Amino acid sequence: MTSIGTIVVPLDGSQLAEAALPYAAALARATGAGIVLLRVIEEMRPYYDERRREVVWIDPMNPRQELLSPELLGAAVQRLAGLGLQAQTIVRLGDPRKEILAEAEQHADPVIVLASHGRGGLGRVLLGSVATRVLQLSTCPVLVVRARETDEQPAHVDFARIAVPLDGSREAEQALPIARDLARATGATLHLVRVAETFRHELPDDPGSILRTPSYEAILERFDQLEAEAREYLEATASQLREQGFRVTVEVRSGDPWDELLDYTRTSQPDLMVMTTHGRGGVARWFFGSVADRLLTHAHVPLLMIRVQAPGRQ
């Protein structure tokens, strides 16, 4: 039993948006969750429903339809079928930002899986600000993957290495339950990473005789202390997880969390990174505001964002 019951995948008909499908399939295989393919249209239109063998209007009187139309979702259904998976197909009329969230609320224990262009802008399925609003307002986890053309998309995805960045706060630790569930379901190794925030203390480029001054030595001692505290925290957390039967590694980095976490994704290349966000109220303490946003636009690692349910500090 996992904390994921339904996987909602918003699509817009583009190949780039379908980059989310292999990751949705991987989640479905691991958890047994159902897949819901969602297409949001912004104007009323008639579509041929292949199941009913009749034309169906999507209009304000019927804004949500379970509809299998080759024009809308047929290709995605066939792609999943080739992986041995079935999907429910839903079409909604309205504002994509609202309708994606509204559809997720229709299902038990949902996760939204969507594709993003990263630095080049968000995919057409998200219509500019849509992804931002989904991430800000969603009460369920959101998995963001980098959009790719079909020939660049992996045919099969495995979650063998799951990274969980932590900062010592209870907010960041709220990523652990779903990471544990996925690791238990997939047999993945959990990789815990923490950045000692030594970037707050600047050292001179050419310290010279300053190296012999107590102030400089005190800074170096503080660096060592921060790194030791970070390692002690990670090792304690890892020990608890190992007692539960998980394979766990820890890594301590030192510096600016943004630079270090981005470098971590590039050098370690985990299959999935799971982290927390406050949603509208900002991001968890260790992100310092812009770090999560910058990872979303620069990192090529799939990011599973978990909204903090009860903000508080240790």
Positions in the chain whose pLDDT score sits under 70:
1-2, 117-131, 149-153, 199-216, 278-292, 310-314
Q: Which two tokens stand for residue 168?
A: 């010592």
Q: What pLDDT is stored for residue 122 in this prediction?
A: 39
Q: Which CATH class is domain 6-152?
A: alpha beta
Tokens 């066939």 identify what position? Answer: 78
59-71: per-residue pLDDT in tens?
Answer: 888 899 998 887 7
Q: What pLDDT is stored for residue 136 in this prediction?
A: 79
**Does residue 47 contact residue 56 with C-beta atoms inside 8 Å?**
yes
Which of 206, 203, 230 is closest to 218 using CA atoms?
Answer: 203
**Does residue 17 contact residue 51 with C-beta atoms inside 8 Å?**
no
Domains 6-152 and 161-307 share a fold: yes
Q: Can you name the CATH fold of 161-307?
A: Rossmann fold (3.40.50)
**Residue 164's CB: how many other CB atoms inside 10 A?**
28
**Does residue 195 contact residue 254 with C-beta atoms inside 8 Å?**
yes
Q: Which two tokens stand for residue 14?
A: 């583009």
Q: What pLDDT is stored for residue 186 in this prediction?
A: 95
Q: What pLDDT is stored for residue 74 in this prediction?
A: 87
pTM of the model: 0.85
Count, in order, helices (H) and strands (E) of the chain: 9, 13
Tokens 């480029």 identify what position? Answer: 205
**Which residues have a Cβ under 8 Å from the Cβ of 99 and sit 6 or more positions away?**
38, 40, 92, 93
> Where exactly are the structural domains of the chain?
6-152, 161-307
Q: What pLDDT is stored for residue 135 in this prediction?
A: 81
Q: What is the DSSP letter of 252?
A: E
Q: Are strands 142-146 and 303-307 parallel, antiparallel or unpaired?
A: antiparallel
d(CA 281, CA 125): 25
Q: What pLDDT is stored for residue 162 in this prediction?
A: 98
User: CA 220 from chain center: how many Å?
Assistant: 36
